[in-house]
Structure formats: structure tokens, C-alpha cells
Copies of this chain bind each other. A is one copy, B any other.
Amino acid sequence: MHNTEKFMKSLRLSEIAKIVGGELVGAEDPVITGGAGIDAAGPGDLTFLAHGSFGRALADSQAAAVLVGPDLEVGIPAIRVPDPYEAFALYLELFLTDLDRVFPPGIHSTAVIDPTADVSRAQAIGPYSVIGPGTVVGAGSRLGTHVVLGSDVVIGDECLIYAGVILRENCLVGSRVIIHAGVILGSDGFGYFPGAQGIRKIPQVGIVEIRDDVEIGAGSCIDRATTGRTVVGQGSKVDNLVQIGHNVVIGKTCSLSAQTGIGGSSTLEDGVTTGGQVGIADHVKLGAGVKVGAQSGVTKSIEAGQTLFGTPAVDFKESFRLFANLRRLPELMNRVRRLEQGNGSGPDESEDNKHNVEGQG
């Protein structure tokens, strides 16, 4: 027998309704094979409508059924619940591998704990983890296999720290923080002084501080400050392979998609979001709620609430217009040619123009 089918199984919608404490709406009782957010849901999936959503959000969804709040009418099979998100999480958690299997409780006999460290309240420390002198792990926190905490690190309560995570000396982590495999916190910032005898290193003596409820994706790197602190604010979410430079300060509930890079000493105020592969220069400030589209490069400070795109990043509507205009250049060139030939009117029919007609909206 293969082990692949044991972690997810099909359920009737009515069974799910019982499990999440909701009420089946409508006559149909489809088989549900998975679940996803409303944008990602495919055939067979259960999805959910957040509080305040409208049923028409379902129009483009392939979902087989939906979890809805008290007052919403929808056109597909549904379960009515007080809090659709809570019910959805409850449904998915049916299939979540038990934390005690991923992080077996207790301190593994092979973990190397410095006698001056305090891990007495930790829920789990995995094989071959190494905890340095003066380090403290809070109540209920779980550390996986091969986790390395340097000296004088502080980890708060109820954290999950996956395999292979490395935190260097003096770094601080709040409570309910999730750090995924291979994350590196507190490596030296990239600070040099271009001297006469070559490039000379500026000692990096600050720390990294990760506040409560942050989640950091696999393989991401957050550098320690030159002096002071590199900060990731409460509730912010950082995706995989993200680079955060020294002395960066990130506010609350920001969301940084994969492979984003933030240059040294920049500030992101609360609620900033970046798409994948965004680059933000050093020494800039992004105001609260700024949204930066994927692959954009932000070269200067941006006021709160703006939505940006492109490199260099400008207002997304301007960016889209710039690109549309660029595609209209062949047409414009033809029009100028006609003017030069003394014929300034009428549509252009040249071959060059036809190639680009798609861009002329």
C-alpha cells in the first residue's frame, strides 16, 4: 500500500457540515475532495466566503461548495456557519498531520543544550538541535530537527521552528511565530567600507527582532542590524527565499511574497504588501498600505496607500498606460512618417502597425 492517500480523504458535504457545526443549505450533497481559497478552488473543492463578501464572488470560482455566513444566499451547495473562515480552517485541519508527529514532544536525547540555556518550558526540541549559552525558549514552543540557536537568543511562547533553522546570537523572537525550514536570522548585514586597501567590513553588532504572530517562509534570510535592530512587525508574513537587509524595519501585518528583497535601512509601514521578486532599494520608506506589484523595483520613498508597478516602480495605472503606449509607438511612427510626407490624416495600414494592434487598447 502506498501512503499517499491517507492524509486526505473525500467527504460528503453533509459530513463536513456535522464536523464544523454548520447547516447544509440546498438539496445537493456533493463529494468534497479538497479545499482552497476562492481564487484557487477547483472542481471538488470546498471554499469559503469571508464575512462581508458577496455571493457574486463565487461566479468565477470552480468550487463545488462553499462555507457561508448567516445572511448570504449563494447559488451552489453550501454550509451555513457563524464564521466561514473558522469553519474552513477546521475542515482543513482534519487532514493536518498531528503536530506531535512532526515535532515529537520532549527534548531529544541528541540535542546539545548549553547548561546556561533555559529550555525547561519548551514542548519539543528535535534531534541534533543545538541551543547556545544564555538562550531561552518559551512555553509550548516546538523546535524541529537540526535547529541551531546561537548564544543569548530569546524565543517566545507557542512558536513552531522547523528543521534546519539557524538563529545567530542575541536575536529575539516573539510568541506564536512560525519559522519555516532553512530560515537564517541574524547573519551579518552587507556593510563594507571601500578603503584604500580594498573593501573593509563594518562590524555588524545589532540584532534581528521578530515580533508576535509573524510567519517566515523557507530559506528566507533576515540580516542583523549594524547597530540596533532589524525588525519584522507583529503579524507580518514573509514568503520563501526573501532577503531582508540590515536595519530594515517592517511594520505590522505586512505581506512579502517569495524572492522579495529589501535593501538595508528601509522602512515598511503597516500593511505593506509585495508581489513576488519585488526589489526595494535601501534607505527608502514605504507608507502604510503600499502595494507593490510582482517584480517591481522601488527606488524611492512612497506615500501611504499607493499601488505601484514596474522598474522603476510608478503608480500601477501609469505603469500599465506606459506599456500600452509603448506598444502604440509603431503606429505613432507611421503617423509621423505620413505627416512628413504631407499626409496627416486617416488610419494607418502598415504591416508594422498590424503586429502591434493587440497593444493599442
Q: How far is the CA of A218 from the CA of B230 in the complex (A)?
A: 16
Q: How far is the CA of A151 from the CA of B144 in the complex (A)?
A: 12
Interface membership of A250, Cβ < 8 A: no
* Among candidates B96, B112, B322, residue contacting A203 with C-beta atoms closer than 8 Å: B96
Residues of A at under 8 Å CB distance from B?
2-4, 6-8, 33-37, 39-40, 45, 50-51, 85, 88-89, 92-93, 95-97, 101-102, 108, 110, 112, 126-128, 130, 132-134, 136, 144-146, 148, 150-152, 154, 162-164, 166, 168-170, 172, 178, 180-182, 184, 187-188, 190-196, 198-203, 205-207, 209, 213, 215, 217-219, 221, 223, 226-228, 235-237, 239-241, 243, 245, 247, 252-253, 255, 257-259, 261, 263-265, 276-277, 279, 281-283, 294-295, 297, 299, 310-312, 314, 318, 321-323, 325-330, 332-333, 335-336, 339-342, 344-345, 355-356, 359
Interchain CB contact under 8 A, B326 and A97: no
Nearest chain B CB to A82's CB is how many angstroms away? Answer: 14
Interchain CB contact under 8 A, A187 and B240: yes
Interchain CB contact under 8 A, A50 and B193: yes
User: Could you list 6 A-B pairs, sorted by A, with CB under 8 Å?
Assistant: A34-B227, A40-B282, A182-B184, A190-B237, A295-B295, A341-B344
Which residues in B have their C-beta under 8 angstroms from that of A312? 323
Which residues in B have their C-beta under 8 angstroms from that of A136? 3
In the complex, given contacts A92-B203, A97-B169, what are 16 additional A-B residue pairs having Cβ atoms less than 8 angstroms apart? A4-B207, A8-B227, A35-B227, A50-B194, A51-B196, A92-B205, A96-B205, A97-B152, A101-B132, A150-B163, A218-B221, A295-B295, A322-B327, A325-B326, A329-B332, A341-B344
Q: How far is the CA of A36 from the CA of B246 in the complex (A)?
A: 11
Which residues in B have their C-beta under 8 angstroms from that of A182? 166, 182, 184, 219, 221
Interchain CB contact under 8 A, B240 and A243: yes
Q: How far is the CA of A318 from the CA of B355 in the complex (A)?
A: 8
Q: How far is the CA of A50 from the CA of B49 in the complex (A)?
A: 56
Interchain CB contact under 8 A, B168 and A162: yes
Nearest chain B CB to A220's CB is how many angstroms away? Answer: 8
Interchain CB contact under 8 A, A264 and B344: no
* Among candidates B203, B241, B318, residue contacting A243 with C-beta atoms closer than 8 Å: B241
Which residues in B have their C-beta under 8 angstroms from that of A259? 243, 259, 261, 279
